[in-house]
Structure 1
Amino acid sequence: MELFEEQGFEKTSAVQIAQRARVTTRTFFRYFPDKEEVLLADADADAVKETLVQHLLQKPDVTDTLQAVTRTLADFDWEKLGPRQILRQRDAMIASDPRLLERELIKQQQLTDALRDVLCRRGTAPDIAELAANTGSQVFRTAYRKWLEDNNDGDLTTITENVMSLLAAIMARGPVPATAARLP
């Protein structure tokens, strides 16, 4: 992460990363297929996805599908992936590079698809499961970005609930003026 910050992601090579880590280039490529995965693998997307799938599978009630998805995502301890400042830096780097952003969006969609599949296995109609998984994931991503931006150590679950409340208000009232609603 430090090397990316020093000279930028695009200007950093796999050889430089290996040198900084004091390993050979061959060892580097044994663990990472390319430099992009150094940044994206730190989140260990497969393990996170499996944990979230298991959490949703074990929820006693998923009749409110949107709430089930957003709570599953919000209740996960995202800070065990690293301190919020590191997650903030990682998120900014990903957003600034189209290749990283593409990979991150693919991983996010794979998680959303897995959550949809769980809802279907639990008896939710496919169209409802699709909409709940996609909407819930987007609600959570909005809350997650707000959480990363929050300098007051705000609680991710509370921020997610605020985003859900805003969505409910939008749905109940129809169009909301752009200046009327602001998230804390």
Structure 2
Amino acid sequence: MGRWEPDARGRLGRAAMELYRERGFDQTTVAEIAERAGLTKRTFFRHYADKRDVLFAGTDLLREVVVRAIAEAPASLPPFAVVSLGLEAAAGMVQERPEDVKLRQAVIDAHLELQERELVKLAAMAGDIAAALGERGLGLWPARLVAETGMAAFRVAFARWIADSAEGPLTKVVRESMEELAATATAG
């Protein structure tokens, strides 16, 4: 190991994603990730529980961004518009590194256990959104309904964005999906 360098967590994450791209997820070991990052396996396990955890490392920050945007939304906005603002804030983070996002999604799509883990993380986010709506005074069940519906629209928008090679801003695709859903719900 060479001299100390900052951002061990970031270096490990980048090394993992590079190796997943080069060798595939299943063929990549924690030891190889640590070596690529110029760190030890012990350091890897200080930052990540396992090699799958690298793919989900930003989830907590993403959830914080959504909840903060919901909390800071104008009180006059209806719940669905508030959720839309929160999910657009999340989209703003996701779209910053489209190549990494496409690779991450390809790895997840190729492994059933990773797909399940992704669904658990998204369900937790829906729960956080519902709780944030509750803090704004919306009842339990309406908050859950709006949160789950918003997450469904986000998932469809994200899938559309990935299918379009992550071209253009994800925020726009999320906004359009939320608008499509709202228009469809009120169409006669």
User: TM-score w.r.t. structure 2 length?
Assistant: 0.80
Inter-CA distance 144–25: structure 2 relative to 1 (3 Å threshold): same
Identity among equivalent pairs (%):
34
Q: Map residues 80-119 of structure 1 onto 2, 5 A cutoff.
A: 82-119=96-133
In structure 2, distance between residues paired with 1:27 and 1:121: 39
Which residue of the partner structure matches residue 57 of structure 1?
A: 71
Correspondences of 1:68-147 after superposition (within 5 Å): 68-76=82-90, 77-79=92-94, 82-147=96-161
Question: Superposition RMSD on alpha carbons, in Å?
Answer: 2.1
Alpha-carbon distance between aligned partners in 1 of 2:20 and 2:51, rounded to the nearest angstrom:
10
Structure 1 unaligned residues grouped into runs of 5+: 175-184
Structure 1 runs of 4+ with >6 Å offset: none
- Per-residue CA deviation, residues 48-91 of structure 1 (Å, 9 max, x unaligned), is 212221111111136521221122111342247x5211111111
Check the 8 A contact 2:153/2:178 in 1, yes or no.
yes
Could you tell me whether the CA contact under 8 Å between 1:66 and 1:136 is conserved in 2?
Answer: yes
Q: 1:39 aligns with which of 49, 55, 76?
A: 55
State whether residues 67 and 136 of structure 1, in contact with CA within 8 Å, keep that contact through their aligned partners in structure 2: no
Matches within 5 A, 1:155-170: 155-170=169-184
Aligned residues: 171
Q: Which moved more, 1:156-165 or 1:85-94?
A: 156-165
Q: Deviations over 1:110-138 (max 9, x none)?
A: 11101100111211121110000000011
